[in-house]
Amino acid sequence: MSFDTPENLVELLNKIIHLASQTIFWSPKIAGIESIDSLESFSQIPSTKLTDYRKHLLPDLIVRPDQIAWIVGAYKGHDPTSPPVAESVNEATLRYDVFLDAVKACIDITTPRTCVVQTTPERRYFASEVATMLISAGVAAHVFTDTVDIRSYERIHLLQPSILVALGKGIDERRLGDSIELSITFGANQQFRRSKQLDLLHVDEIGFLAQSAGDDLYTPNNDIYLFEQSSNGNIVVTSLYNHVQPILRVEVPDMKASKFRLTV
């Protein structure tokens, strides 16, 4: 997979600046900045803490309501204190591609595969998103929403999945059997040692930021995000292709840049 920063990065950033300037939330933050000519000038735009972004309503954050095709199921579940995430068809397609490219780098899904998505009730909507993405690639995905117990392992033994998506904790790897080749987690919520593990760093309001397949550092998706580092070492993210709900220099708390293989 290629995670190279686009050659037309400044052009893409200017597009985001133009769109963000049309929103209630971003317009005062970038007042007087119509365009930039370098990353240095882009860095003069004040960063915004994710906690501040989360305090605002969806109408304040979107610029193209007529292009909204989907509201994304959140990892943290339904949260009335955070805005939902709206996508156009193009943005949803890009999200699918990012996730599936990470999976394909770890396991061949051109042959028939079965997947079990084990989730908590709170994360059921995100589990449905993950299952739908896998199904779109031809993987037979099954979602189970309950506490991990003896029935969970019975279902896994019956289905003999080659992929396990763990959206909760408490799965005893020793009871899974030998069919699982790839375990997918988010934010290292659980460790798996008997199969390859794909861990994705995901922020509901932004998307799939980076992935790691057993490495200490995460490979960032530089092809769709610009990553910078804040003064206190946190990641600052700009989405290069979110045209419905722009993300412009958002600082993610407790997500340290030292976890990433940053190239920009």
pLDDT band at 240 (very low <50, low <70, confident <90, very high): very high
86 DSSP β-pair partners: 71
**What is the pTM (predicted TM-score) of this model?**
0.94
Sequence-distant (≥ 6) Cβ neighbours of residue 216 within 8 angstroms: none
Which domains are present in the chain? 1-48 (no CATH), 61-225 (3.40.50.12780)
Residue 264: pLDDT over 50: no
Residue 2: pLDDT over 90: no
DSSP readout, 99-160? Answer: HHHHHHTTS--SS-EEEEEEE-GGGHHHHHHHHHHHHHTTEEEEEEES--SHHHHHHHHHH-
Q: What's the CA gap between 178 and 157, in Å, rounded? A: 9
Residue 212: pLDDT over 50: yes
Q: Two tokens at 31?
A: 């007042």
Q: What's the CA gap between 100 and 127, in Å, rounded? A: 15
Strand order in the sheet with 113-119: 139-145, 113-119, 163-166, 182-186, 196-203, 207-212, 219-220
pLDDT confidence of residue 254: 81
Highest mean pLDDT among 1-10, 42-51, 187-196: 42-51
Asked if residues 131 and 115 have their Cβ atoms less than 8 Å apart, the reply is yes
Residue 81: pLDDT over 80: yes
Q: Two tokens at 243?
A: 């045209």
Average of per-residue pLDDT values in the chain:
93
pLDDT confidence of residue 263: 60
Q: Two tokens at 82?
A: 């955070």
Tens digits of residue pLDDT in 153-198: 999 999 999 999 999 888 999 999 899 999 999 988 889 999 999 9
Give, for 182, the enclosing helix (H) or strand (E).
strand 182-186
Amino acid at 225: Y
